[in-house]
Structure 1
Amino acid sequence: MSSLNIVATGKSTLLRGFPVSLKLEKPADIATVADVKAALAAKFPQLYVERQKLSLKGETKALNDDAILATTGIRDGGELVVKDLGPQVSWRTVFVTEYAGPLVIHPILYHLPKVFYRGSVQHSQLQKYVYAMVILHFAKRELESIYVHRFSHATMPLRNIFKNSLHYHILSGLFLAYPIYGPKYAANSPYIRGTLRSNPQFLWICASIWLFAELSNLSTHLTLRNLRPPGSTKRAIPHGYGFGLVSCPNYFFESVAWAAVAYMSGSWAAWLFWGVSTAQMMNWAAKKQRAYKKDFGKEYPRQRKAMIPFLF
């Protein structure tokens, strides 16, 4: 058995009773940070494990749940700092929610033109292709979120569900769907009739590039899934298709898929979503590559770019 002094940082009302003395059933040389979180949650049920961030006094970096107290410098009677991270929601819930937006918005605008465009729209082959590609993309993302992805963290702050959903519901939902299913892109529109965008071969080539990118993206997601056993937060260096050139080929292939949609349609909204999404994925890829290099050091392949082969 061991005891710890837990002090609080931040202005959360859940931390008004701190500092507290906490008793652990295990000695400090075998007790983990996860044991401390569990004991805190038992004492303060509203401060459930996922809401807690534990760190050493004078530091802001969170301690890993599997870290043994003694190895972090904490002995019997030592002190840890807790911060309330606020209400949490599972990563899976966030992903399912954000991808559901386009799956609802696109069918509504596509199938109810009289409501939104004040008249009927004879859909062109281009509109049919884009509609199918968008629906299949987000249906794939939903299935991946439920059956493929394994997450290193169980939850994220609840506020993120609104921020993330805004990106998908607005940019790839309303902003993309409204103009592209309207009269400008209809079968009898001068923008479509007799142009490259009515050419079946052009549409087929763009759709083929999109399909290649989507299947490649799925392949990399399966590779990442197989690196992490169920219920584990284990990290390993990914290898195989796509990973020989970049650290995050899943992001690269997703960018290619949306570029195919944007180029095929010529829609400013599609290009806007592609640009914003690609910039965000490049930022994520850079962070993930830094994390890989930090975790694996010289073992990590130095020639890999973060996301775009040979460039970035």
Structure 2
Amino acid sequence: MVNLIINPVSKKFKKINCDTTPNTRLSAIIEAYAKKNNVSDPNRIKFSYIPDDEKSKKKITLKNYLTLEENGLDFKQNKEETLHVYAKDVGPQIGWRTVYFIEYLGPMIIHSLFYYLYYDAGKMNYTQILSYNLTLLHYLKREYETLFIHTFSADTMPLSFLFRNSGHYWIINGLFIAFSIYAPSDSYYDVSTTSGQIWKFIHHIEDRSLDELKWFGGAMVIFEICNLYCHILLRRLRSDGSREHKIPYGFAFKFVSFPNYFFEFLSWTVFALMTNNWSSYFFLIVGTGTMMMWAKQKHAKYKKTFGDKYPKNRKAMIPFIF
């Protein structure tokens, strides 16, 4: 038994002393603490602690699904049998799975509205038709992964993140691309005027032959399947129900830590080259830059967590390069 002192960081919380054990799951303590403070959603409460060996005294956030001991709280060396943790109100929360579902639903709705209502679906060329179907296929795959494959280390994220995350998909992929690539062909615009030239640039899309589109479409489908398989392999790492990070092996994980990002990059590269529209390239650049940033951060975390056990020759995202 140990005495746990919960120190409030947020003014609305109370300082509470409680007796507990090292193998008590943190989520149970947070639920009890939430009731004491009349907080209806325990997910908005986060606990942190300062390790005794930390010179900087930087607080480390505790994971709700782990026990106190699994979170690293030192019970053996603490002679006074009293430990301090800090409670913070992180604001309204929303489930990770809910956020992903909403993120990916947006582009499907927006693309469909532009394709069938804003423009005339009956006048689309083959490139526009394939673009719409590949976009729909991509986000249907994403929704399937969200509902049946993905596992999450945390249950919730701040509600404000929903708007930030959705903006990337709803505005750039949804609004920008759908508005640009489903418009009438280039010949519709009067290039003798400045405005006509601008609109022709905005709505330009390659009118490719069926033979060309078979190659583009086939390549994108293959990369989408590879991306899906990477998520399946990651899912298998947590088939026992645990949430801890483990070293992934097999398939493209032999070369990079995040091949799912790599195949996502290849997939949208094919899409951009196929449509040859500014909005597709813009989405590719923004998305790739974001994935490279994530891959670099997570790759460094893998190496820090697993040390010499982590494969040394493995890159972050792009084989042999990055």
Normalization by structure 1: what TM-score?
0.87
CA deviation digits over 1:171-191, x for unaligned, max 9?
Answer: 000100011000136999999
The one-letter code matched in structure 2 to 1:285 is A
- Superposed counterparts of 1:173-192, under 5 Å: 173-184=174-185
Task: Decide whether aligned partners of structure 1 residues 209 and 72 sit closer, same or farther in structure 2, where only a CA change above 3 A counts.
Answer: farther
Are 2:17 and 1:22 aligned?
A: yes
| RMSD (Å) for aligned C-alpha atoms | 2.6
The one-letter code matched in structure 2 to 1:5 is I
Shift of residue 120 of structure 1? Answer: 7.8
What is the rounded CA distance, in whole Å, between the counterparts of 2:187 and 2:102 in structure 1? 30
The one-letter code matched in structure 2 to 1:273 is F
Are 2:32 and 1:39 aligned?
A: yes
Query: Is 221-230 or 70-79 further displaced after alignment?
Result: 70-79
- Superposed counterparts of 1:1-312, under 5 Å: 2-10=2-10, 15-18=11-14, 20-24=15-19, 26-27=20-21, 29-46=22-39, 48-57=41-50, 58-64=57-63, 65-68=66-69, 69-71=73-75, 76-113=81-118, 122-184=123-185, 197-229=207-239, 231-312=241-322
CA deviation digits over 1:82-106, x for unaligned, max 9?
Answer: 1111111110000000101111001
CA deviation digits over 1:132-178, x for unaligned, max 9?
Answer: 00000001101110001011111111101110111100000010001
Task: Decide whether aligned partners of structure 1 residues 72 and 292 sit closer, same or farther in structure 2, where only a CA change above 3 A counts.
Answer: farther
Normalization by structure 2: what TM-score?
0.85
The one-letter code matched in structure 2 to 1:100 is L
Which consecutive residues of structure 2, in runs of 5 or more, have no partner in the other structure? Answer: 51-56, 192-199
Are the equivalent residues in 1 in contact too, given 2:5–2:84 (CA < 8 A)?
Answer: yes
Shift of residue 197 of structure 1? Answer: 3.5
Shift of residue 39 of structure 1? Answer: 2.5
What is the rounded CA distance, in whole Å, between the counterparts of 2:188 and 2:213 in structure 1? 14
Task: Decide whether aligned partners of structure 1 residues 264 and 6 sit closer, same or farther in structure 2, where only a CA change above 3 A counts.
Answer: same
Identical counterparts, % of pairs: 36
Query: When the two structures are aligned, how many residues end up with a matched partner?
Result: 298
Task: Decide whether aligned partners of structure 1 residues 120 and 61 sit closer, same or farther in structure 2, where only a CA change above 3 A counts.
Answer: closer
Are the equivalent residues in 2 in contact too, given 1:125–1:187 (CA < 8 A)?
Answer: no
The one-letter code matched in structure 1 to 2:17 is L
SS of the equivalent of 1:83 reads strand
Shift of residue 36 of structure 1? Answer: 2.9
What is the rounded CA distance, in whole Å, between the counterparts of 1:274 and 1:16 in structure 2? 44
Shift of residue 274 of structure 1? Answer: 0.6
SS of the equivalent of 1:197 reads coil
What is the rounded CA distance, in whole Å, between the counterparts of 1:243 and 1:258 in structure 2? 20
Query: Is 44-53 or 89-98 further displaced after alignment?
Result: 44-53
Task: Decide whether aligned partners of structure 1 residues 32 and 145 sit closer, same or farther in structure 2, where only a CA change above 3 A counts.
Answer: closer
Shift of residue 31 of structure 1? Answer: 3.5
SS of the equivalent of 1:40 reads helix
